[in-house]
Structure 1
Amino acid sequence: MSDPEKIDGKATSVSVSDALPVERRSREGSLVSVRHADDALLAELGYKSEFRREFSLLETIAFAFSIMGVVASVSSTYSFPLVSGGHVGMVFGWLIPCLFVMTVAASMAELASSMPTSAGLYYFSAKLAPPKYAALASWITGWANITGQVTLVCSIDFTCAQMITTALNVGSDGNVVLGNGPTYGILLAILFTHGFLCSAATGILARINLFYVVVTKPHAMTLVGTTIAAIISLLVASGDQRVSTKTAFTDFENNSGWSNNGWAFLLAFTAPMWTLTGYDSAAHIAEETAGAARAAPIAILVSAFGTASLGWLLFIAASFASASVPDLLTTDLPLPMGQLFLTVLGKHGMLAIWSFIIVVQYVTGAAQVVDASRVVFAFARDNALPGSRWWKRINGYTQTPVNGVWLVVVLAGICGVLGFSEAALTSLAGSAVIGLYTSYVTPIFLRITSGRDKLVPGPFSLGKWYMPIGIVAVSWVSFITVLLLFPPEAHPAADEMNYAVVIVMAVFLFASISWIFSARKWFTGPITTVEKNVQEKESSIGIDS
């Protein structure tokens, strides 16, 4: 298969084998640009290139990193370890899950390197599953991922709204206290602005995320400025109120209402699991990335490890600065981290650093809307969504899936109704983690079972370690999925219930019924959008058929 390309004004034809990474590329023939190599590989995977490849390696890392927004995410989820373990929950309730998450990220990075397409996870599942079950595997993975993507958008923007109400409360000395209704209104306003921002052209989105890196990561890709400022301010300004090292690392407090301390501690895992979601975004923008087979796995690993490391340091600092866990839990502010900053830094210091955290969370939400819209586009491109013909349209001016962006915004706004319950963040965070990690682990499970001999590695490969790493990843996700369905407290009332089970089961039932009565008759998994020649079955590009 060849594709004509003009180089220096002359037409030339480059075979796909010439366009592949070094491990798979024939050394004969002329070399072409990185972008053409990406498009040729994408064609071998079955898709026509429809985006402009304007994300560089740095911008791809920035994009994946910005979705996790470490300082804002820690500030949003600080209540989970406070309730479930106190100081031990902050320090070890973060560290332990992060170690297991890295096995998931490493397995995903290998798959993204082999098959760099916006279809991402559900494409991986289809190609690694037994042919008889390829369509079903793709269907399950796709719907799980979309569930997680949309609820993650909602949960990020919901906590951004809570951050704004917290700032208003502190700035007015407690005179402005906004309830659930106004908070929901702020959420809708944030979603609306994100809809417009994320409908922009790919080049603009890439530059926005690069700006995010420059502002929050002054030392290139190693330190996040706002996070470092938060860590230093908590450690230095807490002064005599700072607890001892022994207390910071070993003091355990169970404020969850669950009688079993071990179970209570496990519920602290919600914080890192919610934060460490979205690194799959590097795979979802693969069709907009130059050198995607190399950039995508690097972005996944660097963003996941960087977020895990910086988040742990921030929680350690918060543990030292938390002189009284009960006082933080009884605050009138929507987010206990706001109270911690207020106690340690005072009103003006708190508002100064809090304003940066709000900006970080806002950009995090914007990046997640982009990611979710690409998943919607890719799934609709394979005709798997109701109204697919609308959601797979690429705007002729911006060259982005504008319809998909607004679908995500509307669905996230509907999910935001959960903000009227006491356990809103628990429900949204649980739904996001369960949906996303189910979609993460399905192709990983298939990789270590039916797909053991199907994957042809890309530039990044786990080699012989794919099996033990994959087993750990699958086992961990199976455990955490069950854990996150439980309510944060024993014997919850209706408004304290964890509604993650409602969201997840509603989507599961819809997808299952659709499959049984309709989709199994026409959905065949990822479709081909380019013409392929008869020899393509013999090529070893990403997957051996």
Structure 2
Amino acid sequence: MKDAAFTDESQLAQLGHAQSFERQFSKWSMLGLAFAILNSWTALAASLSLALPSGGPIAVIWGLVTAGICNLSLAASLAEFLSAYPTAGGQYHWVAMISPPSLKRGLSWVTGWINLTGWVALVATNSSLASTLIINIISLEVPDYDFKRWHQFLLYLGITALTFVVNAFMIRLLPHINMFALVWSIAGFFIISIVVLATAAPDYATGEYVFATFINTTGWPDGIAWLLGLLQGGLGLTGFDAVAHMIEEIPNAAIEGPKIMIYCQYIGISTGFLFLIVLLFVSGGTANAQTIIESSSGPLLETFYIATSSKTGAVCLLIFPLICFCFAGIAVMTTSSRMTFAFARDGGLPLSYLWWRVHNGLSVPLNALYLNVFVVVIFGCIYLGSSVAFNAIIAASVVALGVSYGIPVALNMAQLRRKLPERVFALPEWLGWTVNTIGLVYTIVTTVLFLFPPAIPVDGTTMNYCIVAFAIIIIISTIQWIFDGRKNYEGPRITIDEVRRGSMVPDSV
């Protein structure tokens, strides 16, 4: 920055916090982390089971276009907030800064809990996707494999443990890991696309199948089914607020943060759109559609197998997205722990003084990592009781993050976009109103729809347990508010003096 008063540390100090982490991430390694979390082409491909039965290729392709426009609008909307308030608290901090005084504490509290829930659920989502791909490989290679839900639960736990170990003990390697994750993801995108197009030639699906075929096996009316299929696109493009929660670890935060938030959306939408078109063309079209939807190996691996006519070739190709999800899990755990750290720093969690401790030797919020792992294990227990746990965990992450995006945008619009202070990144008024409106409408619609069961009729094992997870979080946060928050939570607190003198219990503002 040109003026020393606006250096990263002084700007953070003006927001009430001391520098707790070294700013070791460059803008490129932070872009790597942001894209490792989105990994749009990988997430979209691995979650084909969400959209193929719920709209078919029309939902896959045009659902992504719809979700892309809406998520890009949300990203641009939040980039303004990030430029104005570059703090790891993200949405709950922004809400506190622009809310009317009478609503500040309550709205900030709710936003913080919802945002934190979304990030912890996203950790669970990545472990879920990675474990699903491993089960798919076993199912392809061993046709008589008798799948049990606890098999996947154990894989889920193992992948979660891996993400914890890397985050706890390899902090210095994280920027390099994220850079490699970006390279690996882009390389996988090109290698898989070239291989499947070459091996499937000339038996491609028709353009009509790829761009204009509708399939509905959910039991819902066609319109509802297509809207439910948006969950695939929503998953592939959510989590872009990662850079906000990591903003205290990059230089020139107010300038570079908003750019990274928007750039990762551009990369995600473009690679995801192209990759889904490739997959649909090499799938063989209508003749193979039902086989792909019902395959025990999963839609992605089955598509690879159809394209390559080789189990070995299909498995080798699947290794790219599998490792991408391991990288994504690491990056999401990093971000989620920083969100936990920030919210605890402001007194938003039970026993907050424990969760915002930074381990002296490891230089990481170790207790926040432990808390994340514990909650992710609880999320994973859904696997033991529901055959559609995959949908429930994904819906929980997408809905929670979406709501946390929508609250600050709605508040800003309600106050005629006049509450944000002068900032480096500011949208023209006409564009600001446009993207704010698109993003908010999308948030409202998807929040309602993604709580629906993925198919009907519904029983105890096929209901969408996302609503149960939210109910538990609401109960915990309400109890915490009654016994602690309403008395002590004031929104973002001044903690700079406490850090400087070594105290881990922040004073109230």
* TM-score bracket for the superposition, by shorter chain length: over 0.9
- Whichever residue aligns with residue 418 of structure 2, its letter is D
C-alpha deviation, 1:423, in angstroms:
1.0
Map 1:11-90 onto structure 2 (within 5 A). Answer: 18-20=4-6, 37-90=7-60
Percent identity, aligned pairs only? Answer: 28
Contact 2:64 2:230 in 1 (8 A): yes
5 Å-filtered alignment, 1:277-316, equals 277-316=238-277
2:342 corresponds to which of 378, 395, 399:
378
Cα offset, 1:509, TM superposition: 3.0
Q: Secondary structure at the match of 1:145?
A: helix
1:460 aligns with 2:421: no
Aligned residue type for 1:252: F
For 2:128, give the aligned amino acid.
F
Deviation of 1:266 after TM superposition, in Å, equals 1.1
Are 1:244 and 2:206 matched, yes or no? Answer: yes
* Cα shift readout 1:108-132 (whole Å, capped 9, x = no counterpart): 1111111111111110000010112
* Counterpart in the other structure of 1:92: 62
Structure 2 residue aligned with 1:536: none
Alignment of 1:87-236 (within 5 A): 87-170=57-140, 172-200=141-169, 202-216=171-185, 224-236=186-198
In 2: Cα distance, 1:92 partner to 1:507 partner: 33
Deviations 1:132-176 (A, max 9, x none): 211111101100011111111111101101111222333x34254
Q: Any conservation in 1 of the 2:45–2:276 contact (CA below 8 Å)? A: no
For 1:180, the aligned partner's letter is R
The letter for the 2-side match of 1:488 is: P
Q: What is residue 502 of structure 1 aligned with on the other side? A: 468
Who wins on radius of gyration, i.e. which is larger? Answer: 1
In 2, Cα distance between equivalents of 1:166 and 1:325: 18
CA contact under 8 A between 2:41 and 2:276: conserved in structure 1? no
CA distance 1:125–1:350, shift in 2 (3 Å): same
Displacement of 1:56: 0.7
**Structure 1 residue 444 and structure 2 residue 409: aligned?**
yes
* Corresponding residue for residue 9 of structure 1: none
Q: What CA distance in whole angstroms lies between the structure 1 residues aligned with 2:163 and 2:491?
A: 31
Distance in 2, Cα, partners of 1:521 & 1:191: 35
Contact preservation (8 Å) 1:61, 1:303: yes
Q: Distance in 2 between matches of 1:342 and 1:123?
A: 48
TM-score for both structures, normalised by structure 1: 0.87
Q: Which residue of 2 aligns with 1:29?
A: none
Q: Higher helix fraction: Structure 1 or Structure 2?
A: 2
Match of residue 328, structure 1, among 270, 292, 295: 292
Q: Is the 8 A contact 2:136 2:296 kept in 1?
A: no
Distance 1:175 1:52 in 2: 52
Separation of aligned partners in 1, 2:41 and 2:434: 32
CA deviations 1:330-375 (Å, max 9, x no partner) are 2122x22111111211212111111121111110011000110000
Asked whether the 8 Å contact 1:84–1:253 carries over to 2, the reply is yes
Match of 1:434 in 2: 399
> Aligned partners of 2:495, 2:476: CA distance in 1, in Å?
27
Q: Distance in 2 between matches of 1:85 and 1:238?
A: 24
Corresponding residue pairs, total: 492
When the two chains are superposed, the root-mean-square deviation of aligned CA atoms in Å is 1.8
1:244-263 map, 5 Å: 244-258=206-220, 260-263=221-224
Structure 1: how far apart are the matches of 2:456 and 2:10? 55
Aligned equivalents of 2:205, 2:340: Cα separation in 1? 47
Cα displacement (A) at 1:493: 1.2
**Residues in 1 aligned to 2:21 and 2:183: alpha-carbon distance in whole angstroms:** 25
**Contact 2:72–2:265 at 8 Å: present in 1 too?**
yes
1:481 aligns with 2:447: yes
List alignment gaps of at least 5 residues for structure 2.
499-509
**1:506 Cα deviation from its structure 2 partner:** 2.1
Instruction: State the 1:60 CA deviation.
Output: 1.0
Quick one: which of 405, 408, 415 aligns to 2:379? 415
1:471 to 415, 426, 437: 437
Name the amino acid aligned to 1:391.
W
CA contact (8 A) 1:90 1:319 kept: no
Letter in 2 for 1:494: G
- What is the CA–CA distance in structure 2 between the aligned matches of 1:415 and 1:405, rounded to whole Å? 15
Residues 373 and 401, structure 1, Cα contact 8 Å, conserved in 2: yes
What displacement does 1:447 show?
1.6
- Runs (5+) with no aligned partner, structure 1: 1-13, 21-36, 217-223, 533-545
What's 1:25 paired with?
Answer: none
Q: TM-score, normalised by structure 2?
A: 0.93
Distance 2:388 2:296 in 1: 16
- State the AA in 2 paired with 1:249: F
In 1: Cα distance, 2:497 partner to 2:345 partner: 16
Q: Report the Cα distance in structure 1 between the residues aligned to 2:61 and 2:438, rounded to whole angstroms.
A: 22
For residue 62 of structure 1, report the CA deviation from its aligned partner.
Answer: 0.7
Q: 1:242-271: CA deviations, max 9, x gaps?
A: 11112211111111121x211111111000
Structure 2 residue identity aligned to 1:230: I
Contact 2:127 2:156 (C-alpha < 8 Å) held by counterparts: yes
Contact 1:54 1:202 in 2 (8 A): no
Give how far 1:213 is off. Answer: 2.3
Structure 1 residue aligned with 2:320, among 346, 352, 356? 356
* Equivalent position of 1:341 in the other structure: 304
How far did 1:202 drift? 4.1
Query: 1:398 aligned to 2:362?
Result: yes
Structure 1 Cα separation of the partners of residues 38 and 139 of structure 2: 26
Q: Distance in 2 between matches of 1:232 and 1:177?
A: 34
C-alpha separation between the residues in 2 aligned to 1:407 and 1:241? 50
Other structure's SS at 2:496 match: coil
Matching residue within 501, 513, 527 for 2:493: 527
